[in-house]
């Protein structure tokens, strides 16, 4: 799976940024789905805030199952 593969219909994070993003925990590939950047290797979902700012702090990441239960949506803001 490529870093910049888009799962949702609408890409919120700029393509150029997605090309260089990696999971801060495992340094592996990530992909965008809904309002999150996902690392399937770590089972973590990093929220995207204000439509285009990924919060890639490990402490702020959601468990992948929690993100799935919300339909990959949240109401977080800066």
Domain of 24, CATH number, reads 2.20.25.10
**Three-state SS at 57:** coil
Structural domain harbouring 47: 15-69
**Number of domains present in the structure of the chain:** 1
Whether 31 has a pLDDT exceeding 70, the answer reads: yes
Residues 45-64 have pLDDT tens digits of 999 998 889 999 999 999 99
Question: Quick one: which of 35, 3, 31, 34 has its CA closest to 19?
Answer: 3
Give a yes or no: residue 77 inside a domain.
no
Q: What pLDDT does 7 receive? A: 44
């Amino acid at each position: 799976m490529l870093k910049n593969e888009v799962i949702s219909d609408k890409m919120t994070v700029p393509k150029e940024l997605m090309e260089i993003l990696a999971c801060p925990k495992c340094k592996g590939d990530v992909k965008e789905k809904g309002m999150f950047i996902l690392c399937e290797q770590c089972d973590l979902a990093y929220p995207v805030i204000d439509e285009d700012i990924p919060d890639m702090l490990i402490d702020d990441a959601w468990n992948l199952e929690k993100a799935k239960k919300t339909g990959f949506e949240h109401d977080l803001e800066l």
